[in-house]
Amino acid sequence: MDTTVNVTMELAERMAEMFATLSDPNRIRIIAVLSHHELSVGQIVELVGLSESATSHQLRLLRNQRLVRVRKEGRQVFYRLDDDHIHDLLDRAIEHLSHE
């Protein structure tokens, strides 16, 4: 039985871009606070402890990689993880790093 996963060069490049985006501790912390709740930018700022400008910059990078999605309600902007796969990826990384 062949269990090899076919990773094309295009897929490998896209994966590398995604992992590069995830390589920043502040972006990981943002993903962690969004792992169970949709939050406004202000709430993310409070929880992560970055400035609003820095938080917005990090969210833009995460959104460009389709790791988070945005919803606007009037002047308020809310973010959540793009899908359950991102939550699973975070959980797997924590599980892997916690494994002894």
CA distance 64 to 57: 11
SS3 81: strand
The whole-number pLDDT of residue 23 equals 95
Q: Domain range spanning residue 13?
A: 9-98
Residue 64 lies in a domain: yes
Residues 93, 23, 31, 46: what is their CA dihedral angle, to the nearest 10 degrees? 130
Instruction: Say if residues 32 and 24 touch (Cβ distance below 8 Å).
Output: no
Question: Could you give the number of structural domains in the chain?
Answer: 1
Span 16-67, pLDDT tens digits: 999 999 999 999 999 999 999 999 999 999 999 999 999 999 999 999 999 9
- Domain at 31, CATH number: 1.10.10.10
